[in-house]
Structure formats: C-alpha cells, structure tokens
Amino acid sequence: MALLEASRIVAGYGETEILHGVSVTVDNGEIVTVIGPNGCGKSTLMKAIVGLVQVRTGTVIFRGEDISSLPPQQIVRRGLCYVPQSANVFPALSIRENLEMGAFVRDDDYGGRIDEMFELFPDLAVRPNRKAGSLSGGQRQMLAVARALMLDPVLLLLDEPSAGLSPAMTNLVLERISEINATGVAFLLVEQNAREALRLSDRGYVLSAGENRLDDAGHALLDNPEVARLYLGG
C-alpha cells in the first residue's frame, strides 16, 4: 500500500479550477518530484494534499486513511508536514521559537528534537535567539525544513525548496534532503531546478495545465528527450 495516494484531485480557488483530476502516489521512504511549467498546478496540488485548499472531488489517502476533508491541523498530527514555497518561517519569532511552533501539537518534551535539528543544520545553532526574519535565504530555507521536521513526519512536502537560492545553496539543501531521506522520511517535492531534483528522486511526475502528463522513474524522466526539451530547458 502506498504511503500517500492522491487520486483524481480536482481543486482550485473560487471560480477557477486549477487541478482537473491529478493523481500522485508516494511510497514509504521515496523521494518523488513533481515538475511542470509555471501555473500547471504544482503548488495547488501540495496545498490540496495538506488541506489548505479544498479538495472538490477525488481522494487523498494517507497511511490508509482518507484525509481529503480534514483541516491542516489534523493532517500534520498524522505525520504529513509541509513547507510552503514562500513565507515559510515566522519572521518575528526567534529560530528556537520557530522550531517550538513546529512542535506545537506535541505534548511530550521535544527539547531533544530541537537539539537534533541544530545538529542537522549547524547554521541555526549559532544564535538560536536570532529572529528568523533576519536570516539569509538559505538559512531561512533550512529553518523552514527544520520546523516541519519537528513532528517527526513520515512524509514531508516541500514546495520549491531551492527558490531564490544560489546554486551552491541549492545543492546544499538538496543534499540535506537526501540525508533526511536516508533516515526514512519520504519526500514529495515541487522543484524549479528539475534536473537536480530528479537526479535524487526515485520517481517523478510531469504536470501540465492541471493534468498528469507523464510519470516515470527519476532517471528515466531525465533521459527522456521530450521531457528534456519541454521541461528541463534542453
């Protein structure tokens, strides 16, 4: 049984329908990347899965349970966490407070988990009382991922984790994703740097105009001349 099975999702904002029946699955421990041109509905798909955008028809099954109509607070409790593309930290809160907010639904002592995050992202440990709003783009992205990891998720959804980062920073972020994945966390990524993301992905999906276009193993998509021409910039 797949860890996450989103089938024939229809969703959108107000009158506008963005997704016209998109299906995506993620298995335990996998990294899956969704690519596609701007406006194809990648971000909307993520928001529909985590409950920020209402799923009109279709189902989202996570660990065997239908979560399609649950509010976001209920979904994160089940081990599915999400990092939005932008505005993904609390700028007025300190680094440590951001991590505490990530653990909001935990009632146990999560101090150890914060220390683990500081080990994983040493940059954040330098001045944990620094406001998140004063961090650089790369550090902010690290903090956003760390915040989402506070609940020990089984599946982490990342929307454009490398947006606005330098190539060196992008590589660093993707490297961290591989390391975290090695500890058993599955990933569903939306990524502009499709080539780099597909390289570390088990599988990938190509979306176009709110519909599934292609899906295949990550390296197979990379080798596909049509995908290369249309979506990877030659």
* Least distance between other proteins and beta carbon 225 (Å): 38
Binding mask 122-141 for other proteins (x = CB under 8 A): -------x-x-xx-------
* Least distance between other proteins and beta carbon 163 (Å): 15
87 in contact with other proteins (CB under 8 A)? yes
Which residues 190-209 are close enough to bind other proteins by CB under 8 A? none
Token look-up 């899956």 returns 32
Return all residues near 57 (Cβ < 8 A) that are at least 6 apart. Answer: 8, 9, 10, 21
Binding mask 34-73 for other proteins (x = CB under 8 A): ----------------x-x------------------xxx
90 in contact with other proteins (CB under 8 A)? yes
Applying CB under 8 A, which of residues 13, 56, 57, 101 lies at the interface with other proteins? 101
Residues that bind other proteins (CB under 8 A): 50, 52, 71-73, 76-77, 81-82, 84, 87-93, 97, 100-102, 104-105, 129, 131, 133-134, 147, 151
